């Protein structure tokens, strides 16, 4: 019998190609960019929406003779704040870069850092230039009181592994700064582990870490303390303690040290955790001012999502008041770290706000109303508020109003091995059915005469 157009050799080649495709897909899956979503987690409430004009002046000093552009990262995507560049002198080029993956990305990438690149021309060593910058900030504070009440519904470490799949290990691995395998960090991890109940939720673990920090760390930075970052093991060294006014020996540091200790402890206990940095704007008695730059963390709570965590809790009082998910100020992040960041000495150093900072409360509106301030000769002229349209926001850009609605921005969703296997089996089945159908169609039956 003959099968026109078909042969066993051809079918074998098709199956071989499918096997190669499966192997390639599996390789791509392992090498693909991680999945991360910019979503307002369930259990958190956005409140006190406000808009500000932040006017800054920077003095940029060359560390060496250079023609390199001066780069300033000022914002990363998140769900509680937005930032827009209104004007700048000189005019910068706006780019987007992920310091974690070390590559240029689109502005919608959840790990995109908004970079202002200034071409300052040739600068001799120690030469200085001035940059003025105006930013429009749209932000909410965040309340986590509902999450605190629902803490028993937060999943466990095993649930986090199931939800994040392969990405779980990306957000729990050890790095240079978060060296949780070091004996100094392991000693603290073992102390905390004794206080964690069996079948603990991720919320229980985070609370135990924050309790330890509020009891054993002191907010203090003497003049000779390193300006740059320290490893968690260095901060938790028994030789780097001080005696507080109450006569207690404690580890010490400022927000950046608190955060690196927290992330190392969280990852060492199996909790996915990352690091944020950015501006902190405070409000009191109708007055708004820029406190300065701050660092905080985020953790993944199964069933809820990525939760921001204020970890600079230097007293038990702060521990009692500020819960995981609470942002009691306006937090405007400009840096988001989850991997091994390589630091190189830049060709420039710079100082912020040499003159003054002018923060103007433009307009406080309901969450469903948008204003579009216009800057003309440093004067703020808000337009008449217009109601939001019913069209959902499908992209996450720097010009969009912060919203309480959830929106997801995936970076190349990683293909799971089981998905690849299932898809491959379906393809093989389809090929087999088509082959069988054609076989029956072209079968010739011979009879003896």
Specify if 332 maps to a domain. no
Spatial separation of the C-alpha atoms in residues 39 and 377, rounded to whole Å: 36
Q: How many domains does the chain have?
A: 3
Residue 229 lies in a domain: yes
Name the phi and psi angles at 37, rounded to 5: -120, 140
- pLDDT the model gives residue 286: 72
Q: Which three-class secondary structure state does DSSP give residue 192?
A: helix
264 and 154 within one domain = yes
The reply to whether 394 falls in a domain is: no
53 with 127, same domain: the answer is yes
Q: Is 194 found in the same domain as 180?
A: yes
Rounded to two decimals, the pTM is 0.76
From CA 5, how far away is CA 26, in angstroms rounded?
A: 32
Q: What values do phi and psi take at 117, rounded to 5?
A: -105, 120
User: What confidence tens digit (pLDDT) does each residue in 48-80 have?
Assistant: 998 888 888 888 888 889 999 999 999 999 999
Q: Which domain holds residue 25?
A: 8-32+425-441
Residue 404 included in any domain: no
Question: Whose CA is closest to 311, among 254, 252, 241, 262?
Answer: 262
Q: Closest Cα to residue 54, out of 142, 139, 114?
A: 139
Rounded distance, CA 211 to CA 216, Å?
Answer: 9
For the chain, 449 residues long, give each residue's pLDDT as a single digit of tens: 444 555 555 556 556 656 655 555 554 444 445 778 888 998 999 999 988 888 888 888 888 899 999 999 999 999 999 999 999 999 999 999 999 999 999 999 999 999 999 999 999 999 999 999 999 999 999 999 999 999 999 999 999 999 999 999 999 999 999 999 999 999 999 999 999 998 999 999 999 999 999 999 999 988 777 777 899 999 999 999 999 999 999 999 999 999 999 999 999 999 999 999 999 998 887 778 888 889 999 999 999 999 999 999 999 999 999 999 999 999 999 999 999 887 777 777 766 544 445 677 666 554 433 333 333 333 333 333 333 333 222 222 333 344 433 333 333 334 445 556 667 777 777 777 667 766 666 554 444 44
Q: Do residues 117 and 177 both lie within one domain?
A: no
What is d(CA 381, CA 86) in angstroms, rounded to the nearest whole number? 13
The neighbour count for residue 18, using CB atoms within 10 Å, is 15
Q: What is the DSSP letter of 349?
A: E
Q: Contact at 8 Å (CB) between 60 and 71?
A: no
**Residue at 40 is within a domain:** no
Does a cis peptide bond (omega within 30 degrees of 0) precede residue 369? Answer: no
Other CB atoms within 10 Å distance of the CB of residue 165: 13
Q: Are residues 260 and 209 in the same domain?
A: yes
Residue 75, strand partner residues: 114
Question: What is 74-121 written as a DSSP string?
Answer: EEE--SSEEEEEEEEESPPEEEEEETTTTEE--TTSTTPEEEEEE---
Q: Are residues 59 and 27 part of one domain?
A: no
The reply to whether 189 and 306 lie within a common domain is yes
Q: How many CB atoms lie within 10 A of CB 229?
A: 17
Does residue 397 fall inside a structural domain? Answer: no
Helix residue ranges per DSSP H, 236-280: 255-268
Check whether residue 228 and residue 304 sit in a common domain.
yes
Whose structure tokens read 């907010």?
219
Examine the domain organization and report whether 288 and 359 are in the same domain.
Answer: no
Q: What is the pLDDT of residues 345-383, one digit of tens each?
A: 777 776 654 444 567 766 655 443 333 333 333 333 333
Q: Tokens 């003095």, residue?
A: 59
Query: How far is Cα 264 from Cα 287, in angstroms, rounded to an integer?
Result: 36
pLDDT of residue 34: 75
Q: Is residue 37 part of a domain?
A: no
Residue 449 is classified by DSSP as -
> Last residue of a domain, which of 325, 352, 370?
325
Q: What is the pLDDT of residue 97?
A: 95
User: Which residues neighbour 244 within 8 Å (Cβ) at sequence distance 6 or greater?
Assistant: 218, 250
368 lies in the same domain as 351 = yes
Whether 170 and 64 map to the same domain: the answer is no
**Contact by Cβ (8 Å): 179, 264:** yes
In a domain, 266, yes or no: yes
**Interatomic CA distance for residues 283 and 44, integer angstroms:** 20
Same domain, yes or no, for 23 and 66?
Answer: no
């Amino acid at each position: 019998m003959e099968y026109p157009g078909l042969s066993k050799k051809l079918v074998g080649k098709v199956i071989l190609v499918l096997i190669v495709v499966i192997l390639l897909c599996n390789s791509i899956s392992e090498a693909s960019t991680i999945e991360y979503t910019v979503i307002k987690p369930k259990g958190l409430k956005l409140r006190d929406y406000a808009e500000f004009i932040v006017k800054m002046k920077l003095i940029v000093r060359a560390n060496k003779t250079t023609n390199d552009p001066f780069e300033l990262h000022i914002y990363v995507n998140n769900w509680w704040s937005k930032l827009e560049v209104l004007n700048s002198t000189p005019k910068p080029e706006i780019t987007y870069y992920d310091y974690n993956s070390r590559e240029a990305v689109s502005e919608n990438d959840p790990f995109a850092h908004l970079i202002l690149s200034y071409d300052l021309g040739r600068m001799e060593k120690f030469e200085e230039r001035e940059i003025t910058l105006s930013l429009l900030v749209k932000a909410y504070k965040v309340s986590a009181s509902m999450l605190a009440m629902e803490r028993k519904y937060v999943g466990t470490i095993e649930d986090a592994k199931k939800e994040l799949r392969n990405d779980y290990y990306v957000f729990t691995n050890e790095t240079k700064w978060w060296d949780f395998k070091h004996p100094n960090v392991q000693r603290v991890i073992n102390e905390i582990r004794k206080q964690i109940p069996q079948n603990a939720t991720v919320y229980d673990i985070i609370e135990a870490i924050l309790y330890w920090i509020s009891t054993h760390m002191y907010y203090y930075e003497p003049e000779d303390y390193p300006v740059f970052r320290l490893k968690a093991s260095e901060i938790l060294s028994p030789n780097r303690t001080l005696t507080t006014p109450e006569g207690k020996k404690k580890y010490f540091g400022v927000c950046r040290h608190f955060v690196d200790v927290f992330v190392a402890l969280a990852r060492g206990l199996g909790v996915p955790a990352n690091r944020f940095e950015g501006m902190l704007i405070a409000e009191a008695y109708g007055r708004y001012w820029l406190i300065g730059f701050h660092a905080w963390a985020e953790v993944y709570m199964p069933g809820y999502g990525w939760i921001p965590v204020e970890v600079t809790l230097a007293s038990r009082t702060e521990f009692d008041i500020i819960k995981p998910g609470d942002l009691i100020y306006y937090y405007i992040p400009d840096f988001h770290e989850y991997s091994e960041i390589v630091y190189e000495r830049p060709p420039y150093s710079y100082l912020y706000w040499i003159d003054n900072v002018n923060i103007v409360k433009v307009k406080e509106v309901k969450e469903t109303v948008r204003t579009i301030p216009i800057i003309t000769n440093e004067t703020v002229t808000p337009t008449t508020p217009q109601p939001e349209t019913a069209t959902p926001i499908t992209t996450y850009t720097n010009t969009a109003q912060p919203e309480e609605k959830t929106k997801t921005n995936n970076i190349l969703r990683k293909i799971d091995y089981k998905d690849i296997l299932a898809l491959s089996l379906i393809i093989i089945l389809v090929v087999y059915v088509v082959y069988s159908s054609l076989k029956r169609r072209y079968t010739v039956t011979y009879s003896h005469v």
